[in-house]
Amino acid sequence: MENLMFVYCSCKVIWTFLVTILGYASSLPVGDDSICAAEELAKYSIIFTGKWSQTAFPKQYPLYRPPAQWSSMLGVTHSSDYSMWKKNEYASNGVRDFAEKGEAWVLMKEIEEAGEKIQSVHGIFSAPAISSGTGQTSTELEVHSRHPLVSFVVRIVPSPDWFVGIDSLNLCEGDRWMEEVSVDLFPYDAGTDSGFTFSSPNFATIPQDTVTEITCSSPSHPANSFYYPRLKILPPIAQVTMVKLKKNQLGLPAPYLDLPPKSNEIIDSVSETPLDCEVSQWSSWGLCRGLCRKTGTKIRTRFVLLQPANNGMPCPNLDEETGCEPENCV
């Protein structure tokens, strides 16, 4: 009888232990390779810097109706169970509405539902819009040891469905939170609108395409506003910096980061993108003018589609003349 009681007690202890372990495991992010062992909570200031200048991106740079600017930032801290957006995957309805129109309501609902269903979301954060292509905006965010990932989107305005953002950046390194991290940002196409230029009219992509990075050579079409065939890579169109706040900084406004002189020099010189002149196709030849029984001349013309900038290739001749025999001579 004593042996049976011992076996029963042993089984009960093992069962309790297994239930405890399984319960703990179910609260961890699914698919996360490393467990964050840092302190439970950490706060960061997040500073978004727009670098969308006419010097760096001269082609079709929007100057009015509306001028180049950035939407508000919408972001989330989460576990690996949740994904706001991913490169080479289809954008959700919420990301589509945000990228195309700057409307956040559907995306907010998607985030809330993910938080309620699988406990994958810790918090939502937002930062004000920027009314020009260059400038800064900032806010604060809180991460949790079980929700150490940060994702956000900022719409490029104007654009068909273009945005910049971060997908699932992990701020935890083993047993500590990162003190500071900066990431250069490049444009993405949400795959829901087929426009090539900043001011393209709304033309839905059917069927919907996946989220793709826009580069200086892709889409490979001269009409593309980011098409710069002389470049190897686009300069960063924006940058985001996250700085861990010390406990005595909590509750204070996020700091505004003044770019050091060296960074300003990079924006003005290294990021100066050459823009070659673009001209139309030749027109058909005009009438041959001249005296009968003598060689006459005829002319064809073309016009400038895009003026050169930043020491780009100058425009070629816009008219061409050749010899001909005058017509309708008696």
- Mean pLDDT, the chain, as a whole number? 83
Residue 130 has a pLDDT of 97
pLDDT digits (tens, 9 = 90+) for 304-321: 877 777 777 788 888 898
* C-alpha count within 13 angstroms, C-beta hemisphere, residue 188: 29
**What is the pLDDT at residue 119?**
84
**Pairwise CA distance, residues 157 & 62, whole Å:** 9
Q: Calculate mean pLDDT across residues 107-125.
A: 89
Residue 189 β-bridge partners: 162, 212
User: Mean pLDDT throughout 252-261?
Assistant: 47
The upper half-sphere exposure of residue 178, i.e. CA atoms within 13 Å in the direction of its Cβ, equals: 17
* DSSP 8-state secondary structure symbol assigned to residue 187: -
- Residue 27: what pLDDT? 37
Enumerate the domain spans of the chain: 42-247, 279-329
Average pLDDT over residues 138-161: 97
**pTM score of the predicted model:** 0.75
Q: Which DSSP category does 48 fall into?
A: E
- pLDDT number for residue 190: 97
CB 109 within 8 A of CB 97: no
CB 51 within 8 Å of CB 154: no
What tokens were used for 12?
């009960």
pLDDT tens digits for 151-165?
Answer: 999 999 999 999 999
Whether residue 22 has pLDDT greater than 80: no
Instruction: Write out the CATH class of domain 279-329.
Output: mainly beta
pLDDT over threshold 50, residue 173: yes
Q: Which of 39-43, 48-52, 201-205 has the lowest mean pLDDT?
A: 201-205
Distance CA 187, CA 214 (A): 5
Q: What angle do CA 163, 169, 175 make, to 5 degrees?
A: 165
As a whole-number percent, the residues of the chain with pLDDT over 90 amount to 55
Per-residue model confidence (pLDDT) at position 12? 44
Distance (Å, whole) CA 84 – CA 114: 10
Residue 142, token pair as written in the block:
């809180």
Binning pLDDT at 50, 70 and 90, where does residue 255 land? low
21 vs 208 pLDDT, higher one: 208
Residue position matching structure tokens 């919408």: 74
pLDDT digits (tens, 9 = 90+) for 196-228: 899 888 889 999 999 999 999 998 888 899 999
- 4: pLDDT strictly greater than 50: no
Residue with the larger pLDDT of the pair 23 and 64:
64
CA distances from 87 to 105, 228, 233, 277, 280 (A): 22, 22, 18, 33, 35
Average pLDDT over residues 16-39: 50
42-247 — its CATH code?
2.60.40.2130
pLDDT at 287: 87
pLDDT at 318: 86
Q: At what angle do helices 105-118 and 93-101 cross, to 10 degrees?
A: 150
Q: Looking at the chain, which runs of residues are DSSP E strands?
A: 41-51, 69-78, 121-127, 134-144, 149-157, 162-170, 172-173, 176-177, 180-185, 188-189, 212-213, 238-244, 278-279, 296-301, 304-306, 319-324
Per the CB < 8 A criterion, the answer to whether 253 and 73 are in contact is no
3-class secondary-structure state, position 299: strand
Q: What is the pLDDT of residue 251?
A: 55
> Does the pLDDT value for residue 150 go beyond 80?
yes
pLDDT per position as a tens digit, 86-101: 999 999 999 999 999 9
Q: Are strands 296-301 and 238-244 parallel, antiparallel or unpaired?
A: unpaired
Specify the pLDDT at position 308: 79
* Percent of the residues in the chain that have a pLDDT greater than 70, as a whole number: 82
User: pLDDT for 270-308, tens place per residue?
Assistant: 468 777 778 888 898 888 888 887 888 998 988 887 777
The yes-or-no verdict on residue 24 having pLDDT over 80 is no
Q: Is the pLDDT of residue 13 over 80?
A: no
